[in-house]
Amino acid sequence: MPPTAGLGLKPEHYADALAAEAKGLWFEVHPENYMSAGGPRLSALEAIRQRRPLSLHGVGLSLAADADPDAEHLAALKRLVDRFEPFVVSEHLAWSTHRGAHQPDLLPFPRTRAALTRIADNIDQMQTALGRRVLIENPSLYLPLTGNDLDEVDFLKALVQRTGCGLLVDVNNVFVSASNLGYSAESYLDALPAEAIGEIHLAGHGPDAGGSGLLIDTHGAPVAEPVWTLYRRLIRRVGPRPTLIERDDDIPAFATLMAERDRAAAELSALEMADA
């Protein structure tokens, strides 16, 4: 897969996505929205996949839970992987299930050595079930947790070393977490292992409406200029990587999102020309 720029696919944009002519364009979806036996969504995705590369970005496997990944969820994901042959499958470094209860969020956890072993085991199970390497995405954080044995970058490096997984680097998440917890986003990105990075996400954020001063990873706004600056810094160090524009709230017209996608594509092209 060439390191071009893609767009998170939304149902209201199916017709536009099918008609789009942009060179190198690809799409990403949450597999949980397509885990059905049939219907118009699967048909639309099938038609788009015939024209464009696709990646699957999971939000429901709960890899950081203190339990094995749900077997039925893994089986449904495997069916989608076999059907659509995505160039990337990714999941979040977070949990959302506990003893059969499901939370509609991606929740944090203390980065202990016990958690490292448990999550590495869960990633192994995911990769074995799918028969392929997966990418793990860094989380957005809002408050510090006590009891950490490792910092976040060292935790991600250890997961890569133990499981052979790759990393999906969400630059907006890094910016939001660094702002909320008071560390350097630049130092975080500079410490990530370049060879492990298989995809980059760019999204928008906003201030907490409650006035706490926190930044919230809303996916409901254009990518902020400081995030673009961090993105440029990252790809100059690690080289071009497939880059996705995400928007999950206040979704604008397809053309508006494509303008952001085209900006990311231009950044990747400029980097490739500079290295030629």
**Residues above pLDDT 90, as percent of the chain:** 91
Arithmetic mean of pLDDT, 221-243? 97
Within the chain, residue ranges assigned H as helices are 14-19, 40-49, 71-84, 113-130, 152-163, 171-181, 185-191, 225-238, 254-275
Determine the 3-state secondary structure of 71 from DSSP.
helix
SS3 content of the chain, % helix, strand, coil (to 5): 45, 20, 35
Which of 90-99, 184-193, 199-208 is predicted with the least confidence, judged by mean pLDDT? 90-99
pLDDT beyond 90 at 272: no
What's the pLDDT tens digit per position in 1-24? 779 999 999 999 999 999 999 999
Looking at the DSSP bridge assignments, the partners of residue 5 are 243
pLDDT at 64: 94
What's the pLDDT tens digit per position in 245-271? 999 999 999 999 999 999 999 999 998
> Between 37 and 44, whose confidence is greater?
44
Burial class (CB within 10 angstroms; exposed 0-12, middle 13-18, buried 19+) of 1: middle
Which of 16-25, 102-111, 172-181, 216-225 is predicted with the least confidence, judged by mean pLDDT? 102-111
Average per-residue pLDDT for the chain: 95
- What phi and psi values does residue 5 have, to the nearest 5 degrees? -105, 145
Are the C-beta atoms of residues 8 and 248 closer than 8 Å to each other? yes
pLDDT at 75: 97
pLDDT beyond 90 at 218: yes
Pick left, alpha or beta for residue 92 (phi over 0 → left; psi -120 to 50 → alpha; otherwise beta): beta
Of 56, 62, 64, 5, residue with least CA distance to 33: 56
pLDDT at 99: 82
pLDDT at 275: 72
**Roughly what angle, to the nearest 10 degrees, separates helices 171-181 and 225-238?**
120
pLDDT at 78: 98
Beta-strand relationship, 206-207 and 215-216: antiparallel
**In terms of pTM, does the model score above 0.85?**
yes
Arithmetic mean of pLDDT, 68-75? 96
Arithmetic mean of pLDDT, 197-226? 96
Burial class (CB within 10 angstroms; exposed 0-12, middle 13-18, buried 19+) of 145: exposed
What letter represents residue 270's amino acid?
A: A
pLDDT at 2: 77
* pLDDT bracket for residue 238 (50, 70, 90): very high
Arithmetic mean of pLDDT, 43-65? 96
What fold characterizes domain 5-275? TIM Barrel (3.20.20)
Sign of dihedral through CA atoms 17, 1, 57, 204? negative
Tokens representing 185 are 């986003």
Which of 99-103, 143-147, 202-206 is predicted with the least confidence, judged by mean pLDDT? 99-103
Of 216, 113, 129, 105, residue with least CA distance to 162: 113
pLDDT beyond 90 at 157: yes
Tokens representing 89 are 């499958």
pLDDT at 98: 83
Give CA separation, 110 vs 50, 115, 184, in Å. Answer: 42, 7, 20
